[in-house]
Amino acid sequence: MSTRPGSRIVGIGSALPEHVVTNADFEKRLETSDKWITERTGIRERRMGGSTSELAIEAGMGAIKSAGLSPSDIDFMILSTTTPDQTVPATSAVVSDRIGIAGGAMDINAACAGYVYALVVANSLIVMGQRRILVIGSDTLSKITDQNDRSTAVLFADGAGAAVLEATDNSSLLGWDLGIDGSAQPILYCDHGGYMQMEGREVFKRAVRAMVDSAKRALEMANVGPSDISLVVPHQANIRIIEAANERLGIDMSKTAIVLDTTGNTSSGSVPLALHDAVKKGMVDRGQLVLFSGFGAGMTWASAVMRWDADAIG
């Protein structure tokens, strides 16, 4: 296989608020049941609390530490978030200052597909000469969710994850696909000062289609097929969406990183949280292929195929 300059992941970190909200907690105050939530979504509990920047800082510091680096080794930072702490400035301003990163920093908002968008953008900055980029995904969706609306409250939660990307002559990123269909904006949105509004069934249908089509395009660019993939890291919205997409792609659930049962949907946090968990469990070895795949409000979608090229990182 030919090589080309690009990036590889050398460190991962994650952060979850301490406060656990179980399905039983919702049962006590909403017309819902643990059975309904578990069967329809796969979610058993989720974490709520903290701010987007606090969670981002913890995850980002963890990723730098796991790479055996210090903040001064990082020359750029990207924060994927849909729930910035303020409208201005970007949350990356606060996060990069608190972590102590000297280079540039910016927020990216592509909703729940944002983290995979950020990985691809970071890779292109590395191709243009940056050496190490900290890519964080952090969201506090509980802040923009009506906790009395059973149709959304049980789904959305808070969390963050991060990875350090480093320049290499043999890029890990083999294929990618980024897309958006803005005509689908009305099916999932949140106005300033409002709460998440969602047409659940329509989102479900489109999410499966978007994930499958996007993954196929990324696989094609990488010149590999689903059977070459050792680990899938999908956006953690709903276990049934992941099962449906995997089935259509022909990928076994045993090769899939899942944390949504304990995290709920943490938007930008979900992919790096799932990656960190899978790496800690030893689900991927050096040289194996990882498929990242996300979808979100917009609707956005994003996929990436990466050759895993890190020694044990925890």
Q: Which residues bind ligand COA (CB under 6 A)?
A: 32, 36-37, 40-41, 112, 150-151, 154, 198, 200-201, 203-204, 237-238, 265, 296
Count CA atoms within 13 Å of residue 121 on its CB side. Answer: 22
Shortest Å distance, C-beta 199 to ligand COA: 8
Q: Cis before residue 89, ω within 30 degrees of 0?
A: yes
Count CA atoms within 13 Å of residue 170 on its CB side. Answer: 7
Write down the catalytic residue from 23, 238, 246, 265.
Answer: 265
Q: Which is nearer to ligand COA, 122 or 188 (CB)?
A: 188
Shortest Å distance, C-beta 155 to ligand COA: 6
The answer to whether residue 192 is catalytic is no
Q: Which is nearer to ligand COA, 92 or 238 (CB)?
A: 238
CA dist., res. 198 & res. 156, Å (int): 12
* CA triple 265-297-247, angle to 5 deg: 65
Q: Which is nearer to ligand COA, 4 or 35 (CB)?
A: 35
Q: Tell me if 138 sits within 8 A of 56, measured CB to CB.
A: yes
Q: Which is nearer to ligand COA, 41 or 66 (CB)?
A: 41
Write down the catalytic residue from 23, 112, 190, 246.
Answer: 112
Residue with structure tokens 């989720």? 46
Shortest Å distance, C-beta 235 to ligand COA: 6
Q: Which is nearer to ligand COA, 41 or 130 (CB)?
A: 41
Write down the catalytic residue from 23, 109, 123, 235.
Answer: 235
The answer to whether residue 190 is catalytic is no
Shortest Å distance, C-beta 96 to ligand COA: 27
The answer to whether residue 112 is catalytic is yes
Shortest Å distance, C-beta 146 to ligand COA: 12
Q: Which is nearer to ligand COA, 11 or 159 (CB)?
A: 159
Residue nearest to ligand COA (CB): 200
Q: Return the active site residues.
A: 112, 235, 265
